[in-house]
Copies of this chain bind each other. A is one copy, B any other.
Amino acid sequence: MSVPAPNLYPPFNVVRLSHTCLNVSDLDTSRAFYTDTLGLQVTDEEGDRVYLRAMEERGHHCVILQKSDRPGTVEVMGFKVWDEDDLDRAETYFRERGQPTEWVERPYQGRTLLTRDNIGIPLEFYHKMDRLPPIHQQYALYRGVKPLRIDHFNCFSPDVDASVAFYNDFGFRVSEYTEDEESGHLWAAWMHRKGGVHDMAFTNGRGPRMHHVAFWVPTPLNIIDLLDLMATTGFVKNIERGPGRHGISNAFFLYILDPDGHRIEIYCSDYQTLDPDHEPIKWDLKDPQRQTLWGAAAPKSWFEHGSNFVGQETTEAVLKATPIVAP
């Protein structure tokens, strides 16, 4: 079997993905894009950073935009854990596996553990984040694509088998995966903690690099609204792929690029994967309906472009299979 049996009793409890810090070249430009075009809400801004949250979120931030001289890179991917003891258990876990660990100060967050996964993705774990009042019923605030919450991360990994094994060990469960029939290796895998299709996914390619970060919206019509808005406010070149219905996940999707080239997916309508005996769905790399159920191939940029992690070297993928690429 290509994917390991799930670890139903993980060493520490990751609740869900939480946030990411994206490095940008111009804070005003990015701030405008994430608020006016996407519809996130600014919760705080100080110095080089703008903190934002989505419309149903109570945690202080799901995106931090940071002005940097390395725009287009990602600082970290953040995850929330169940309690303070989970942080200590996580620290032990990563340290025992030879990963660097460090306790760091993060504004608006309590105790935070910074570490890296097996391919070098910088991860931070926390239990407490400042909580904000609900705004999900402040309908006058909704704009853009009406983003409700951060949904998942997707990263390029030079060895998806290894990435899946690493995350599986601390409780991430595979919901869907693509296998390269010829080699028997994983091309991609979707793994979750929170009971949807994924919190973290891996796609074969030079890595580690962030492939995209995704936000959940109410309906496909919100995605159409975003396309109409972007196409007529100067962002037609930022539309990369879609809209469409995924084969994998069955979600309705759109991929766009932010002003610094960070890829963002707008996503809705996947399905519930809570059950401990939930069976992963396998796809063959050659299946033309895998990425878009309606058959449209992704553009070459979708397979190649990504955001480096700060201070992290990348490695070419082990697997050299060729997916179907739009000409």
- Which A residues lie at the B interface, using CB under 8 A? 8, 15-16, 56, 58-59, 80, 82-83, 128, 131, 134, 136-140, 148-149, 194-195, 218-221, 224-225, 227-233, 236-237, 239, 243, 245, 247, 250, 252, 269, 271-272, 274-279, 281, 288-289, 293-295, 326-327
Contact = CB atoms under 8 A, between A and B. Distances in A.
Nearest to A254: B294
Contact of A15 (B82, B239, B276): B276
Nearest to A292: B231
B271 A194 contact: no
Looking at chain A's contact residues, the main secondary structure is: loop
B245 A293 contact: no
Given A131-B279, A237-B295, A252-B224, A137 B15 contact: no
Given A82-B276, A250-B136, A224 B220 contact: yes
A47 to B, nearest CB: 28
A140 B232 contact: yes
Given A232-B140, A250-B136, A281-B134, A80 B275 contact: yes
Nearest to A15: B274
Contacts of A327: 326-327
A58 B289 contact: no
Contact of A294 (B140, B239, B272): B239
Contacts of A252: 224
Contact of A221 (B80, B140, B220, B289): B220
